[in-house]
Amino acid sequence: MAEQKQNRSSLILLLLLLVGSVGFNIYQFKNHSTTVIEHGTQVDSLINARVDVERELAGITMELEKYRGIAGNLDSLLNDANGKMEAQEAKIRKLISGEKDLNKLNKKLKTELEELRKLRDEYLEKIDGLLAENKALKEENSTLNTQVTDLNQQKNLLEQKVTTASQLKAEYIKVNSFKKRGSGKYVESVLAKRTNKLEACFTIMDNKVAGTGDKMIYLRIVAPNGKVLMGFTKASLTVDGENVDATASQKIDYKGEKQDMCLSFENEDRILESGTYLVEVYIENTLVHQSNYTLK
C-alpha cells in the first residue's frame, strides 16, 4: 500500500515536471517568434530605406542631367552637382557598411534621404535661375543683333547714297558723223559709205561730292554687226568684272566743275556699214550714257 502511494506521488511529480517543461518551451517559442518578427520588420524597414535612397540618387542624377548641353554655365553647375552626389553616395555606402545597429542605420538612411532631396531642390533652384538669366541674355543678344543689322542696313544705304551721289554724270550727249574732204576738213555726213568719223560730244557735270583728280572717260561704239569700232589706240575697260574693248578713252583732271569733251572713232578708209550703231559713254568703268545712232 505504501509502495502504491509512493508510485502515485512519483507519477504526479513527473506529470508536473512535464507540464512545466511544456509550458517553458511554449514561452520560449513565443518569445523567439516575437524576436524573429521584430528582427524581420527591422530588416524590411532597412531594405525599404536603402531602396528609397538608391532610387533618389538615380532620380536626382537623371533629373539634373537633362539640362546638360543647354549652356556652358549650366554644365559647370551640373558637374559640381555630380561631384556632390558622388560624395553623398560614398558617405551612404560607408554608413551602411559601418553601422551595425539596424534601427540606427534605418534612421540615418532616412536622414540622408532628406539631405539628398534638399540638395536636389537647391540645384534645381540654381538651374532655374541660370535658365532665366540665359533667356534674358539671349533676348538681349537678339535685340543687339537686330540693332546691329539695322545699323548695317543704314550704313549700306548711306554708302549707296554716297556712291550714287558721288558718281559723275554725262549730259547733253550729241553724236555726229563726218566725212573727210581732200583738204583734210571734216563736214557732216549721214551716209555710211561716205563717213570717216563718228564723234560723241558731251558735258561731264559738276559734282561737289565726287572726289577731284584723274578720271578715265571711255567711248564705246558698237557697229550693227556687233563688233566694237576700234580707234588708233587700243583702249579697254572693266564692265561687270570683265575686260571689254573701248573705241576711245581719255584721262581728265576733274576739279568738281562742268567739263566739255569729245571722243571719236576715225579711219582714213570708209569702212562703216549702214545700220544702227550703239553709242555708250563710261566714266570710271560705270555706264553713264547709252543711245543709238543710224547711218544710212
pLDDT in tens, 49-79: 667 677 777 777 777 777 777 767 777 877 8
Cβ proximity of 265 and 159 under 8 Å: no
Mean pLDDT, range 152-179, rounded to an integer: 71
Q: Which three cell numbers stand for residue 254?
A: 576733274
Q: Which three cell numbers stand for residue 115?
A: 539631405
pLDDT tens digits, residue range 79-91?
887 777 777 777 7
Q: Output 139 or 291, whichever has higher pLDDT.
A: 291
193 DSSP assignment: G
Identify each DSSP E strand in 181-239 by its residue range.
186-188, 197-204, 213-222, 235-239
Distance CA 253, CA 124 (A): 74
Look at residue 37 in the predicted model and tell me its pLDDT: 46
Range 233-266 burial, b when 16+ CB lie within 10 A, else e:
eebebebeeeeeebbbbeeeebeeeebeeebbbb
The CATH number of 170-295 is which of 1.10.150.300, 3.30.160.340, 2.60.40.10, 3.40.630.10? 2.60.40.10
Look at residue 262 in the predicted model and tell me its pLDDT: 92
Q: Which three cell numbers stand for residue 271?
A: 569702212
Q: Is the pLDDT of residue 266 over 80?
A: yes
Average pLDDT, the chain: 75
Distance CA 264, CA 237 (A): 16
Mean pLDDT, range 6-27, rounded to an integer: 59
Best-predicted range by mean pLDDT (11-15, 162-166, 260-264): 260-264
The answer to whether the pTM exceeds 0.85 is: no
Q: How many residues are there in the chain?
A: 296
286-290, long-range: CB < 8 A, 24+ apart: 286/167, 287/239, 288/167, 288/168, 288/169, 288/170, 289/170, 289/173, 289/202
pLDDT tens digits, residue range 175-195?
999 998 888 888 888 898 898
What are the φ and ψ backbone dihedral angles of 126, each rounded to 5 degrees?
-65, -40
> Going by C-beta distance under 8 Å and a sequence separation of 6 or more, which residues neighbour residue 181?
187
Tell me if residue 250 falls in helix, strand or coil. Answer: strand
pLDDT tens digits, residue range 223-252?
999 998 887 667 888 788 888 888 888 898
Look at residue 38 in the predicted model and tell me its pLDDT: 46
Residue spans of the domains in the chain: they are 2-136, 170-295
Element (H, E) at 31: helix 2-65
What are the φ and ψ backbone dihedral angles of 121, each rounded to 5 degrees?
-65, -35
Q: Is the pLDDT of residue 174 over 70?
A: yes
Q: Is the pLDDT of residue 5 over 60?
A: no
Terminal C-alpha separation, the chain:
180
Mean pLDDT, range 255-274, rounded to an integer: 87
Percentage of the residues of the chain whose pLDDT score is greater than 90:
10
Element (H, E) at 178: strand 170-180
Distance CA 22, CA 150 (A): 102
